Structure 1
Amino acid sequence: MLKIDSKYIQQALTANAIEELYPLVQKAIELEHSTIPPYLTALFSLKPGTNLVQRQIIHSIVIEEMLHMTIAANILNALGGTPYINNSDFVPEYPGPLPMGIGNGLIVGLEKYSPEVVHDVFMEIEEPENPIVFKTAMLATALPTYSTIGQFYQAIQQKIDELAPDNLPGHKDYQVTSPFFPADELFPVYTKTNAIDAINIIIEQGEGTPTSPLDQEDELAHYYRFEELYKGKRLVKDPSAPNGYSFSGPGIPYTPADVFPLFPNTKTSMLPAGSEELNRMNQFNLSYYSLLSGLHDTFNGHPEKLNDTIGVMYDLKLTAEKLCATPFPGKAGYTIGPSFEFVDTSKC
């Protein structure tokens, strides 16, 4: 997974009270969210009805990142903290590093789908500490002062186990559940054991286990799903392979011509004032803010709002698809990518 500044692990391990874990779990929420705009941009760049396997895999990972974000919010609420979602500091600047001081120089932008983006960005985001399925090329090695996100979550687990009472002190009615997610993946975090189990779901869905590319639901972890897209082959059980799996399954067809040519890292400021293109971008970013605002309310005492908030995702999708099909004014050969910029609604 991502390499982060090890100071965050040290902060977790040296905490003397659960209140000291609040800002660290908030950082976890921010990190889980920060992967969603890049993944969605790649997804939205696929022309409707085409590259179906790419679409299905990326969509499945986005849903699980939303799940992880919700789990982290449940844990923060259970510990007695408060998630903050609907402010400008919550939204990353793209292109740029992701939250918690990424240490291997990874810069994440908002770009169209391509095998190169899958390999160079998405697989690096999701890379386990020790990938068990051989790769075509090794990614950069982190400096000793950096650690993995998996280690960060494990440090939080350790301190919750050490510092928290068996029954956690947060508002029980703030816990978020939804039929949108499986009940064995999104469940109320009332106890220390619940919190530890919930963190295990985040870790294993992202990177698998030390001995298997599968998570505890027997589904491929994110890293290996992205690797399938990069290699263009399904990862399947193979008794003859050293690790029991190989990329010898059915081929995954990919048609580059069915990807919209998004201008990388489109910004609102690039579009002509008063233009229809700018109006569409503003509409997209207003929907994005509505999504963040809805999640903020959901995680702060109104869990019943989650399903309505998920509905905002469909508005976001429709607006994004229109943007991605719209020629970029003054940039021949490009279309407009979603910018995922924070909108201050008080100025609208």
Structure 2
Amino acid sequence: MTFVISHNRVNSKESIVSSESVRSVALAAPTSYIPAVPAAMGTTTVKKAQPAAPRRTEAGRAASLSGKPADVSSAKPALLTEKPAATEPVVYRVTAYYLNVRANGYSTSKILGTVKQGTELRVEKVTDKGWLRLASGGYVHGGYAEPVGASAQAAAAVLKRPADATKTDAMLVKAAPAKPAVMRLAPAKPSEPNQPKSLVKSVSGLTAAHIAEIFENTALEGHGLEEEILAIEAEYGINAYFTIAVMKLESGNGKSKIAKNKNNLFGLNAIDGDRYNKALKFETKRASVRKFGQLISKSYIGKGYTTIEKIARKYCPANPKWPSLVTKIMKADYRKL
């Protein structure tokens, strides 16, 4: 579907939106936070246990004479009870453009650093909430990483439940050779936002607290937009300043009729002459942010429209002031913080 985008001319000095940041740090030289971990799932060899000599209980002797089955409750079979082996780490690959590594498995936990798309992480546990606990320490959200290979996918399922105790006469497992692997984790920068850039695919350095501050006293606050804005920055690389500025400009800081009644914060498909009826309708305002991220990533950045000025030519060609208005809002937001 082709989206025709309308625009609202809004005073650029109106208050601005905020969002939690995704820190982009090059995976360059190893830092102090660069643990080396084994790449393969190591296993151990368990010696074969000698079967215990059978015991003939009184009940068993009586049963053999009478031809009746023995009372099994009195018999004590000798079985080797193995303790469940510790689940070995499983390799996951990061699918997001940038992904935060947090101290604990929840979205407001302290950010320890960031990892780039394609980074392989060794995961030792999946929490009930879907967070991945890394063997080297820290957590990442499971929605932005996937197991590597079919065997890893099967092993990943095991991480979600404790291993069952195994009763057997013997268990022999061949040890797999370990291959060293290094995960380079970029240290988190101080929580100071970066200056806005005209390059749309860039890192803002904004956090959810920053975005909440930008949204204060506007119709955009209180809708949980902060996490969604940061999510599309993490997944598609779309700078949060840019998303916020376009949102504010096209929705009149969330006060437009389309924004209120259709949850459409970006004027998506709002064609001039029949703007309201043609505009897309969303279940939530957060859903419109997600759609905006997908659209900009696929139809703009993916086709070479990488700067605010280039995007403006296609997004809002009827308004030559659109790029300067967006830029002005971005700078004002930065100064506010």
Q: Relative CO higher for 1 or 2, CA cutoff 8 Å, sep ≥ 6? A: 2
Structure whose residues are more often strand by fraction? 2
State TM-score, norm by structure 2.
Answer: 0.22
Structure whose residues are more often helix by fraction? 1
